[in-house]
Amino acid sequence: MQNEAMIAESSPSSVVIKHPYRWLSLICLFQLVFWTVGPWLVRNTLHSDTLEGIAWGNLWQWGYDKHPPLAAWAAAFSSNLTETSDWPVYLLAQICVVIAFIAVWRLAREYLTGAGALLAVFLLQGILFYSNRVERVTPDTLQHPIWALLVLTFYFAVTRQSLGYWLLTGVMAGLAILTKYQVAVLFAPLFIVLLITKEGRSALSSAGPWLAGIIALVIASPHIYWLWDNNFAAVSYLEENYVESERYGTGTHWDHLIFPLNFIKNNFGNVILLLLLMIPLFRAPKLPIVYDHFKKTFLIAIATGPFAFTLLFGFITGEKLVPRWATPYFAWLPLLLLVWVRPLIDYQRFKKVVFWCLFTGVLLVSLRCSYLLFKPLIDDEYWDSVEFIPLRAQMLKAEELWSQNFDHPMPYLGGLHYHVAELVAYSHNRRTIPFFGLNPVESLWMDEKDFRKNGGIIVMVDGKRYSKTVRQRLEKNYPQAEFLGRFAFEPVTKIKVENKPKLFVEYYLLRPEHL
């Protein structure tokens, strides 16, 4: 290992792990098994954002009104692997996390001995973005592996001066753009590393970084063209909902301070367990390791840069910073702390930390699954959460009502944005096109003329945000829609619950104009 050469021969060193791949496999299998099987057993439906992604992804567009396309494509692909179960989606979410684990471990080997590199991964169980509510497939989820691989290939590209790694870096950068624009807060510190380090400036004088940039742009170019063709809809969503939104904050200059402080406070809660798990390492004797300037600069940049640039955005704009934006930020925080602390890791200390990491992981997945299972007993309005809504039954009713009138698959389903997204994800034919909010601005893939020409079902639910607005659009734009009935459904629970409320959905038929 490179770092071991920096320890004097007479100095003590951390224990050498004889079978590192077995230990790495342990944490990876733990993540795959517990977080795939647990949610699959206790949830009735996928998370709302995942269902929205599936609805988008089944359309296979180069962009959507909120995000670039890659996460939606991934969610749709995994969902379509089976028509009766959600387990492939849960599995995909954990594959994303496991790929990040492996990439973090590989980078950690450049800094730490075998024991330390493994702990850099095990300690991620102390970060809630890896050990709580990780059953979702969203752009945040997909950032885990793509950011981790982008950082790893960038490190190798600079330190090895390898054109091949620069080309891989370009591929990962392009995929990162297709995942979420938020990658800008990672690009910025990586670029700074190139400017302020000797190795980085040397790399800039070669063709590698420039070819990587070209490859990234080529990969992202179809989406960039889509943005141009759709008036930068996804960028406008961020601006309208966060940068210029009146839904958040005090509307005063204090927001420039309040939002960043809240972001810090909320994310401290996401990493506090990591600090507790590291107590045995904080108490350990320190090793006399010296890291070169590039290694220290690079690690500080990737582990703190995205968080710092997000805070800077909040300080400058005074706009809300969403805590989950930090989902991919802390992948390298355990590694940074281990490099800073430089603990002597004997076998007993290694096993102790591993035990408490796994115990924390088991505890958190158990608490999460127990909450989802027993929520109807502790929350009087449990039925308002998507995992208890009978989406499959509601979608089946829409398809039945359509089939009573026509012998071809239902072409469109319109209604409240999230309700339609949640229903269409469970469509049997996977070809029903969602018309979110009965609003073309939310449904950039379609033309209202096609909706009128081919017809479809419109579903209405009351008491939700924007329900009145969507109903007004129905009455104004589609007065010819036929009311098919108001049907009652019961919440779906994994445990027996008495006195379930009735959930009502109204169905309307828009007949095709050509029939």
pLDDT, position 245: 46
CA dist 225 and 220 (Å) reads 9
Q: Compute the mean pLDDT over every residue in the chain, rounded to the nearest whole number.
A: 93
In this predicted model, what pLDDT tens digit does every residue of 307-357 receive, in sequence order?
Answer: 999 999 999 988 889 999 999 999 999 999 999 999 999 999 999 999 999
pLDDT, position 83: 81
CA dist 237 and 379 (Å) reads 32
Q: Which residues contact 515 (CB under 8 A, 6 or more apart)?
A: 406, 455
Predicted TM-score (pTM) of this structure:
0.93
In this predicted model, what pLDDT tens digit does every residue of 6-19 receive, in sequence order?
Answer: 443 334 557 788 89
Structure confidence at residue 429 as a pLDDT band (50, 70, 90) = confident
pLDDT at 426 over 60: yes
From the CB of residue 13, how many other CB atoms can be counted at a distance below 10 Å? 16
Domain spans in the chain, listed from the N-terminal domain onward: 28-368, 386-510
pLDDT at 48 over 70: yes
Query: Residues 54, 384: contact at Cβ < 8 Å?
Result: no
pLDDT at 173 over 90: yes
Q: Which residues contact 267 (CB under 8 A, 6 or more apart)?
A: 307, 323, 326, 329, 330
pLDDT, position 17: 87
Count of residues making up the chain: 515
In this predicted model, what pLDDT tens digit does every residue of 192-214 receive, in sequence order?
Answer: 999 999 999 999 999 999 999 99
Q: What is the mean pLDDT of residues 383-388?
A: 93
From the CB of residue 232, how many other CB atoms can be counted at a distance below 10 Å? 15
DSSP state of 444: T
Q: What is the mean pLDDT of residues 35-45?
A: 96
pLDDT, position 215: 98
303: alpha, beta or left? (left if phi > 0; alpha if psi -120 to 50)? alpha
- Exposed / middle / buried, residue 55 (Cβ in 10 Å: 0-12, 13-18, 19+): buried
